[in-house]
Amino acid sequence: MRPSARTVIAIAAVALTTGCLRSAFLRIAAGSTVDNLVFTLSSDSTHLQPLASFGGIKVAKIECSSRRSGVDSAYWSVIAIGDHTIKPSPTHVRYGEEFQGYTVVTAPRTLSVGCYSAELMSPGYGGYTRFRVDTLALVHEGISTRSVVPGTKPRS
């Protein structure tokens, strides 16, 4: 049976869009709190190789249960002005940090208890992470609310 034209187009679109973006690793630095939230950026899983460029970052509050952002969910976003990007990218970005040649689209808001997503906005790279803030103002990567079997990692 031959696939339909719609199926072929859908597969081609996925291949083109995923083939254009290189993986980027955006993580929460160990020990981060709401007063000192630090993201690590790298082009490899060892977190030692910087990205070729840094185009910006966006943090949004999301619903913990559905993982979808709400209408007024932007908590902080900064993007490069025009073609200006930091090359190579910084390996660490502090929440609310300002960069010369970048514009703050959304001024940093105070992070409260709940779930958030952070998305890398760098040319040619795709990377994001989800995290939650607990009642002690600690930041935890991943937003799983499911119970975890001892010795295993929570699903995010």
What's the pLDDT at 22? Answer: 67
More confidently predicted of 146 and 40: 40
Residue type, 153: K
Distance CA 64, CA 112 (A): 13
Average of pLDDT values for 51-75? Answer: 77
Domain of 25 in residue numbering reads as 21-141
Q: Is residue 78 part of a domain?
A: yes
Compute the mean pLDDT over every residue in the chain, rounded to the nearest whole number: 75
Q: What is the DSSP secondary-structure string of 14-78?
A: HHHHHHHPEE-EEEEPTT-BTTB-EEEEESSTTS-SPPS-B-EEEEEEE-TTT--EEEEEEEEEE
| Each residue's pLDDT tens digit, 105-144 | 999 999 999 999 999 887 677 788 899 999 999 999 986 5
Of 100, 122, 147, nearest in space to 53 by CA = 122
Q: Is residue 131 part of a domain?
A: yes
| Each residue's pLDDT tens digit, 83-97 | 767 777 788 899 999
What's the pLDDT at 127? Answer: 82
Lowest mean pLDDT among 7-16, 56-65, 122-131: 7-16
What's the pLDDT at 144? Answer: 52
Distance CA 118, CA 133 (A): 13
Q: Do residues 24 and 126 lie in contact, with contact meaning Cβ atoms separated by under 8 Å?
A: yes
Q: Is residue 13 part of a domain?
A: no
81: confidence class by pLDDT, cuts 50, 70, 90: confident
What's the pLDDT at 86? Answer: 72
Q: Is residue 106 part of a domain?
A: yes
pLDDT of 43 over the 60 cut: yes
Q: What's the structural domain count of the chain?
A: 1
Structure tokens belonging to residue 92: 């660490």
Average of pLDDT values for 45-72? Answer: 76
Residue type, 102: Y
Q: Is residue 5 part of a domain?
A: no
Q: Is residue 35 part of a domain?
A: yes
The CATH number covering residue 137 comes to: 2.60.40
Q: Is residue 49 part of a domain?
A: yes
| pTM: predicted TM-score of the whole model, two decimal places | 0.72
Q: Is residue 32 part of a domain?
A: yes
What's the pLDDT at 112? Answer: 93
> CA angle at residue 42 from 81 to 76, to 5 degrees?
45
